[in-house]
Structure 1
Amino acid sequence: MRTSVLRRLRTVVSPRSLRSQLLSRSLFILAILLILIGGLQYILMINFLYKNQVESMGAQILQFPREMLEQMELYPYHPAGPANPNDQANSTSPINPVNPGGSDSNASSGKGKRGPFLFLPDTSLAIIKEDGGFLNRSKQSGLPAPQLSSEQYESIRDNLKEERPDQYRIVKDDNGNEQLIVFRPLSGPGGWNDIVQLGVLAAPLKSVALRQLFIFICLAILALLGGLMLYLPVLKRTLKPLDQMVRTVEEINAGNLDHRFPASLGQTEMDRLAASFNGMLERLESSFKSEREAKEQMRRFIADASHELRTPLTSIHGFLEVLLRGAAERPDQLYPALNSMLGESKRMKKLVEDLLMLAKLDRTPVVQRSDVLLDALISEMEPHLRILAGERTVSFHLEPQLHAMCDSDKIKQVVLNLFHNAVQHTDPASGMVRVILSSQNKHAVIAVEDNGAGIAGEHLPHIFERFYRSDTSRARKHGGFGLGLSITQSILSAHGGEIRVKSRYGQGSTFEVSLPSL
C-alpha cells in the first residue's frame, strides 16, 4: 500500500508526468500572455500620458502673446527685491506684460533695458526663428531647452504648415534629462515661420506609467498563484479518467482479458482511447483464444494420430510374433497373417498420405487450375462410384456444360471423399445416394445426398475437424480416420470455394460444394 502511494506521488510530481507538464506549460503560457499584456499596457499608458501632456502644453503656449515671447528677457526671480538698489523702481512686479516694448526711467537714463519676466520652473521654452536662430527663453528660470538639428526643425515647420500640430519629441537636454517637447507656430500676421518650443521633464510621466506597470505585475503574480491553487484540483479531476484507465490496464493480464473500459468517460479523447484499448483487448482475447484452441487441436491431433498408428502397428507386431513362433512353417496360418499385415500396412500408408496432403495444403495451398467441364468429370467417375456403392441406389443429376477453373484431380478427390462418406453412413441394401450438379449465383454446386443415419446436432460444428468421427465404431469398421472431410475442406479453400452440410438425425445428410464457375 505504501509503495503504491509513493509511486503515485512520484508520478504526480515528476517533471515527466502529464499533470506536471500540463500545469507548467499552462502557467508558462499564462505568464507570457500577462507579460505581453503588461508591456502593451505600459506602451498605451505612456502614449496616453504623453498625448495628454502635449495637449495641455499646447493650450499653455496659446496663452502666451507673441509680443511677450519675442521681447521678454528672463532673469532670476528674487522675492526679497532686486540686488541693485538703482533698480528699485523696476522691481515692483516680476512680470510686466503691459508695456513690453516701451522704456522706463532706467531705460531713459541708459542703465539697461529689461523685457517682461516669465518664471517657468521645470519647464524649457525656446523660439526657433525663420532664419534658423534659436532663442532659449528659460535658461535662468527653468530647464535648459534642448536644441534639435536644422533638418528636424524644417520637418516640424512643414508639418505645422500642413495643420498637423500634434508634434512632440522625447530628447535629452544638456543636463542629461529626457524632456517631452512640443512645437506650436507663433500666432499673428506672418508668424507661421517662427516656432515656439515648450518642454517638460518626461521622468514624472514615466514614473506614473511604471507605477501602473508595477501594480499590474503584482496583480498578475497574485492571479498566477490563485490560478495555480484553482487549477490543481481542476486538473486532477480532468485527468481522473486517465488514472482509472491506468489502474485498469495494470489489473489486466492474460487471465482476465475480458475486462473492458467504460464506453463513455465524459471526454472525447478519453473515449477514443478507451475504444482503442477495448479493440486491442478484444484482439488479444481472440488471439489467446485461438492459440489455446490451436494448442488443444494440436494435442488432440497428436493423440489421435498416435492412436491411429498404434492400432495397425500393434496388429503387425502381433502377427510377426505369431510368425516367429512357428506359424511361418504352416501355410494355413502364414497366408492369413500376411494378408492381415498387408491390410494394416495399407491403412498406415493411407493415413500417412492423408497427413502429408493436409500438411501440404496447410503450408502451400496452391493448385494448378484449368478450365474443367464438371459434368464430364463426374460422368467419367460414375462407373467407379457405382462399384463403390455396391447394392445401394445411386442417381446422377448433372447440369450440362458447367465450367469451372479448378484442378480436376483435386475435385475428383473431393467428389470421391463425399461419396465414400455417404456410402459409409447408409445401409448397404436400402441405401440411396444422389449426386447433383447445378449452377447457383455464378457458382457451380456439387451436392451429395444420402438417406443414412444423419448427424446429430452436437456433432455438426466439429465434423470438419481432423480425426473427428461422430460414429467411432462404424468409422473404424470401414477403415476411416476422420480426415476425409478435413482434406475436402482444405482443397476447397485452396480453390476459393466452400463446403456446407445439412443433416437431420435419422433422415440423412447433404453435403454441398460450391466453386466459382465460368
Structure 2
Amino acid sequence: MIKRWLAAVRRMAAPGSLRSKLLTRMLFILSFILLMIGIVQYLVMKNFLYQNEAETVRAQLMSMPVEMILNEAPLPDPPEDGRSRFLMIEDFSLALINKEGTYSNLLQDSKLAAPELSDEAIQQIQANLQKHQPIEHEVVQDSGGREQLIVFRPVMHNRNGETGGVIQMGVSTSRLQKVLWRQLLTFIVLSILAFAAGIVIYFSVLKRTLTPLSAMVDGVKKISAANLKDRLPEQQGQEEIDRLADSFNEMLERLEVSFEHEKEAKEQMRRFIADASHELRTPLTSIHGYLEVLLRGAAENKDQLYTGLNSMHGESRRIIKLVEELLLLAKLDRRPELDLVPSSLTRLVLDMENQLHLLAGDRHVDFQVKEDVYVNMDADKMKQVLLNLFHNAVQHTDDAQGKITVSLSPVRGRAELKVQDNGPGISENNLDHIFDRFFRVEESRTRKYGGAGLGLSITKSIVEAHGGSVRVTSAIDQGSTFSVSLPLKANLN
C-alpha cells in the first residue's frame, strides 16, 4: 500500500507534469495563505496584548496618590512577595517630565530605567495636554536595550487644571513577548500539521480530478488512421474536460472527413489517370496503325496516303483537345482567380445565338431570354459553359427531330440559365455520375463527336468558380435539362 502511494507521489511530482505544476502552485498558495494568516494573527494579537496591558498599567497609575508618586509621602513597604501594593506587576519604571521636558527618575532602586522620549514626542504630549486630548501609550527601548510599554498621567498644580508636568510609567514587555512567541509557535506547529494534511488530501483529490484526463490520454493513444471513427466520452462530470473532449472529437471528425476526401481524391486520381491513359492510347494507337500501313507501301498510293494523313490529323486534333481540356481542369482545380466583372448575361447569350444555330444544324433551337440579367462573370469562361451544355444537347438529340431550348431568367435573386433537349434522357443510375470526368452515357455517340467526357466536368468547375451551381434533371425518353444558377447582380445601367 505504501509502495503504491509513494509511486503515485513520484508520478505526480514528475518535473514538467501537470500534477507537479498543480502541486507546486497549491503548495505555494497554501504557504502564502498560512504566512499571511500568521502575520495578521501576530499583529492583531500583539496589538490586543499591548493595548490591554496599557489599560491595566494606566489604571494602576491613575489609582496611585500623586503625593506618593512624587515622594511627598513615603511609599509603603512592599509585601513579602516583593510586589507593590498599588501595582500588580513586578518591575516598573517611574519618571516625571516637567514643563521644560526634563526627566526626573522617581524610582532610583528600580530594575528598569525610565526611558527618555525624544523632544518631538514630549512636545506632542504637552500639546495633547493643553488640548485636553488623551495621551496614547508608547513602546520604546530604555538605555539597557529592553523594550518598555509606557503610559502617561498629567500632574495638576492648581484647581484651574494647569499641569505641572507628566508622570511616565513603564513596564517591561518581555512577558507579552513570551505570550506572543508561544502563540506564534503554536500557530507554526498547527500550520505544519495542516500543511501535511493538505498535501495528503490534495494527492487523493488530484488523482480523482485528473482521472478523466488520464482516461482521455489513454483514449487518444488508441486512435489511429485506422479507427478515426472512435470518439471520446463527452460527459465526464467536469466542464473543462468535457469541453476538451468535445473539441477533440470535433478535430477527429474533421480529420476523418479530410482522410475520406483524400481517399476519394486518390481514387479519383487513379481513375483519372486510367481514363486519360485510355483516351490518349486510342488516338495514338490509331495514328501508329496508319503509320505502319503507310510505311508498308500504302504511301505510294496517293488515295491511301491522303486517307491515312487525314485520319492521323483528326486523331491528333483529338489528342490536342484532350490535353487542352486536361490542362484547363488542372487550372480550375487550383481555384484560379477569374476575371469576374459585372456583365449582362442576357447580351452574352444573344450574341452567341448565331453560333449556336450553326452548331445545331437542322435541329430546332428556341431562345427564351429575359432582358437585363446581370451577373459577375468571366465572359470567355461563361461562353465555354454555354457551348459545352449546348454541344452536349446536340450530341444527344436527333439530327432532324432534335429540339433544344435555351432559356435565361431571374429566379429569387439568382440568374437561371437552362439548356433543355428532347433526347433519350439519362437513367437515374447515371445522373449521379454525369459530371464525373471521362464519364459518358453513350460511348459510341460521344466517340462520333470526338468527346472525351470532360465537357460537363469543366462546366461544373467553371460555374462553381463563379460561386454558382449546376444541376441536371432527366428521365428516360423525356429529354434532359441542365440548369446553371449564378448570383444575380443589380442592373448597372
- Structure 2: which amino acid aligns with 1:31? S
Q: How far apart are 1:373 and its partner, in Å?
A: 5.2
Report the secondary structure of 2:199's partner residue: helix
Cα distance in 2, alignment partners of residues 404 and 120 from structure 1: 105
Report the secondary structure of 2:95's partner residue: strand
TM-score by length of 2: 0.85
Counterpart residue number, 1:16: 16
Corresponding position: 1:285 with 2:253: no
Cα distance in 1, alignment partners of residues 380 and 173 from structure 2: 107
CA contact (8 A) 1:119 1:141 kept: no
Corresponding position: 1:35 with 2:35: yes
Cα distance in 2, alignment partners of residues 156 and 224 from structure 1: 47
Cα distance in 1, alignment partners of residues 66 and 266 from structure 2: 113
Identity rate of aligned residues, in percent? 53
Corresponding position: 1:263 with 2:234: yes
Counterpart residue number, 1:53: 53
Match for 2:142 among 173, 177, 180? 173
Q: How far apart are 1:402 and its partner, in Å?
A: 4.2
Cα distance change of structure 1 residues 403 and 173 upon mapping to structure 2, 3 Å threshold:
closer
Corresponding position: 1:126 with 2:103: no
Counterpart residue number, 1:138: 107
Q: How far apart are 1:418 and its partner, in Å?
A: 1.0
Corresponding position: 1:200 with 2:171: yes
CA contact (8 A) 2:94 2:107 kept: yes
- Structure 2: which amino acid aligns with 1:282? E
Cα distance in 1, alignment partners of residues 99 and 340 from structure 2: 110
- Structure 2: which amino acid aligns with 1:456? S
Cα distance in 2, alignment partners of residues 121 and 185 from structure 1: 24
Cα distance change of structure 1 residues 338 and 162 upon mapping to structure 2, 3 Å threshold:
same
CA contact (8 A) 1:74 1:118 kept: no
Moved more, 371-380 or 443-452: 371-380
Deviations 1:392-434 (A, max 9, x none): 4432222245455544443333222112211222344543322
Deviations 1:23-42 (A, max 9, x none): 22122112112112111211
- Aligned residue pairs total 479
TM-score by length of 1: 0.82
Cα distance in 2, alignment partners of residues 287 and 17 from structure 1: 32
Q: Unaligned 5+ residue runs, structure 2?
A: 1-5
- Structure 1: which amino acid aligns with 2:20? S
Cα distance change of structure 1 residues 485 and 201 upon mapping to structure 2, 3 Å threshold:
same
Corresponding position: 1:347 with 2:318: yes
- Report 1:147-226 matches (<5 A): 147-186=116-155, 189=158, 192-226=163-197
Cα distance in 2, alignment partners of residues 248 and 391 from structure 1: 69
Moved more, 231-240 or 213-222: 231-240
Counterpart residue number, 1:432: 403
CA contact (8 A) 2:99 2:164 kept: yes
Counterpart residue number, 1:469: 440
Answer with 1 or 2: which has the greater Rg.
Answer: 1
Cα distance change of structure 1 residues 164 and 259 upon mapping to structure 2, 3 Å threshold:
farther
Cα distance change of structure 1 residues 390 and 257 upon mapping to structure 2, 3 Å threshold:
same
Corresponding position: 1:454 with 2:425: yes
Match for 2:198 among 212, 227, 231? 227
Deviations 1:354-384 (A, max 9, x none): 2233334445735556676555544454454
- Structure 1: which amino acid aligns with 2:92? T
Cα distance in 1, alignment partners of residues 311 and 50 from structure 2: 123
Match for 1:319 among 287, 290, 294? 290
Counterpart residue number, 1:3: none
- Structure 2: which amino acid aligns with 1:236? K
Cα distance change of structure 1 residues 349 and 13 upon mapping to structure 2, 3 Å threshold:
same
Q: Unaligned 5+ residue runs, structure 1?
A: 1-5, 80-93, 98-116
Q: How far apart are 1:344 and its partner, in Å?
A: 1.9
Cα distance change of structure 1 residues 194 and 226 upon mapping to structure 2, 3 Å threshold:
same
Counterpart residue number, 2:309: 338
Q: How far apart are 1:313 and its partner, in Å?
A: 1.0
Cα distance change of structure 1 residues 145 and 399 upon mapping to structure 2, 3 Å threshold:
closer
Cα distance change of structure 1 residues 339 and 133 upon mapping to structure 2, 3 Å threshold:
closer
Cα distance in 2, alignment partners of residues 451 and 126 from structure 1: 128
Moved more, 367-376 or 28-37: 367-376
Corresponding position: 1:445 with 2:413: no
